[in-house]
Chain A
Amino acid sequence: MVQYTQAHFNASFAALSDVTRRGVLEQLGRADASITDLAAKFDMTLTGMKKHVGILEQAGLVTTEKVGRVRTCKLGLCRLEEEAAWIERYHQLWAARFDELDKVIEQMKRKEKADGRKKRK
């Protein structure tokens, strides 16, 4: 689980490395806001703001909820989502590891094949 925390911190710090995203967090610390509100406040396109909010959401810094046609953003995760979110990040970490492991295995297989060919000669 410590691994989870490590990965999570990295995602969080990446999310915090941007001045707009820090501004969004500061704004949401004062009051919840819709993506449209945030886009207007930061003089940005809706698409651009959606991207920033998506990164903050992935890092677990912001949670969003769609009511009707409006997506409202607030700070943090709601309690109910905490376990699901934790397992989801644990899942992401292992999926990322296993994708890398695939590459290592492919390389080992190729090497074994090549070595086998050499031996037969």
Chain B
Amino acid sequence: MDAKRESERAPMKNRTTVERKSERELVTTRTFNGPARIVFEAWTKPELFKRWWAPKSMGMSLRSCEMDVRVGGKYRLEFEGDSMAFFGTYLEVTPPSRLAWTNEEAGDGGPVTTVTFEEKSGRTLLVLSELYPSKEALDAAGTGAADALGEMFEQLDELLVALGASVGRS
């Protein structure tokens, strides 16, 4: 009885998996405890989408979220606190089972994201695929992150020098 109440209060989180499926593709899967039409809606209505896509636990927050969810329609997401934006075009919109869009903020090297929603006895298996134009583009996205890390270390060096200097001065 107690155990049941406990599980109702805090339902078990389903597992998220990420796999590099091929040289060009990264695939993420997750099951949700709800029908596909509800999960699909949470991906296609901006007021719902912005509530989960920029998780506070990751220190993220969206300033604006515009989505024209139809084939050829555009989307644009802007973060709070900096000038960074994500944008692209919807390539496929098939409620409630399939969505695809381009990621254009990184130029030609950006992936095409495809999300499929497959319902089974009231639950939905979501598969998110990011297909890059080439192995090099996916590698670059990874090393891009590594380069960003390198750049961050340089900034950190400068910060430490500045901090050291200010400590020295005071």
Contact = CB atoms under 8 A, between A and B. Distances in A.
B160 A26 contact: yes
Nearest to A77: B149
A75 B52 contact: no
13 contacts: A6-B79, A8-B149, A9-B152, A16-B156, A29-B157, A76-B153, A87-B142, A93-B55, A98-B16, A102-B33, A104-B48, A104-B51, A105-B38
Contact of B55 (A77, A82, A87, A97): A97
Contacts of B38: 105, 108-109, 112
A22 B163 contact: yes
Contacts of A45: none
A113 B137 CA distance: 45
A100 B61 CA distance: 13
Q: Range of interface residues on chain A?
A: 35 or more
B156 A10 contact: no
A4 B145 contact: yes
Interface residues of B, number: 49
Interface in A66-121: 75-77, 82-83, 86-87, 89-106, 108-109, 112
Interface of A: 1-14, 16, 22, 25-26, 29, 60-61, 75-77, 82-83, 86-87, 89-106, 108-109, 112
Given A8-B148, A75-B153, 20 more contacts: A5-B144, A6-B84, A10-B58, A26-B164, A61-B156, A82-B146, A91-B16, A93-B55, A94-B16, A99-B57, A100-B52, A100-B55, A102-B32, A102-B33, A103-B52, A105-B38, A106-B11, A108-B38, A109-B34, A109-B38
